[in-house]
């Protein structure tokens, strides 16, 4: 999930509002802008605060978080807006573990050792054959 996200962070909701209204949300049934305080950026270029457009209710895949509850958040870019919701909400520990796994380069040490051995043996056999001529 982290690889397919455009951005990811650990943060806390500090405010909610309607996309066109700067005031607080009264009826959460419609689309809502969640304002997050960003504690740690895992992927992407995010500031200290990020606004995320999402459905207003968790039943519609909106965020299911309380204010000031830290969570891992995966985001998608939709034009100029960040979008996200319940399906992109992940436990902080799981997000950090996924980030550690994706940053580690995959090295096939067995293949490197076998390939090196084949090259060395092939080189020795070639040199031996050339000396006989």
- Helices and strands counted in the chain (H then E): 2, 6
- Give the distance, in angstroms, between the CA of residue 107 and the centroid of all CA atoms in the same chain: 22
| Cβ(89)–Cβ(65) below 8 Å | yes
| Cβ(83)–Cβ(7) below 8 Å | no
pLDDT digits (tens, 9 = 90+) for 37-81: 999 898 888 999 999 998 866 666 777 777 778 899 999 988 889
Q: Is the pTM of this model over 0.95?
A: no
pLDDT digits (tens, 9 = 90+) for 8-20: 999 999 988 877 6
What domains can you pick out in the chain, each with its CATH number?
7-103 (2.40.50.120)
Whole-angstrom distance, CA of residue 37 vs CA of residue 126: 64
3-state secondary structure of 118: helix
Count of residues for the chain?
133
């Amino acid at each position: 999930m982290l690889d397919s996200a455009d951005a990811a962070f650990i943060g806390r909701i500090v405010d909610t509002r309607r996309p066109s209204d700067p005031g607080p949300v009264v009826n959460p049934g419609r689309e809502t802008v969640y304002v997050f305080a960003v504690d740690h950026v895992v992927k992407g270029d995010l500031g200290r605060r990020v606004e995320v457009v999402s459905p207003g209710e968790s039943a519609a895949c909106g965020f299911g978080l309380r204010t000031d509850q830290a969570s891992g958040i995966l985001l998608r870019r939709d034009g100029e807006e960040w979008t996200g919701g319940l399906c992109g909400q992940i436990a902080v520990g799981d997000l950090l573990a996924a980030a550690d796994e994706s940053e580690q380069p995959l090295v096939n040490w067995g293949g490197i050792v076998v390939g090196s051995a084949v090259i060395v043996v092939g080189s020795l056999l070639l040199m031996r054959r050339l000396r006989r001529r």
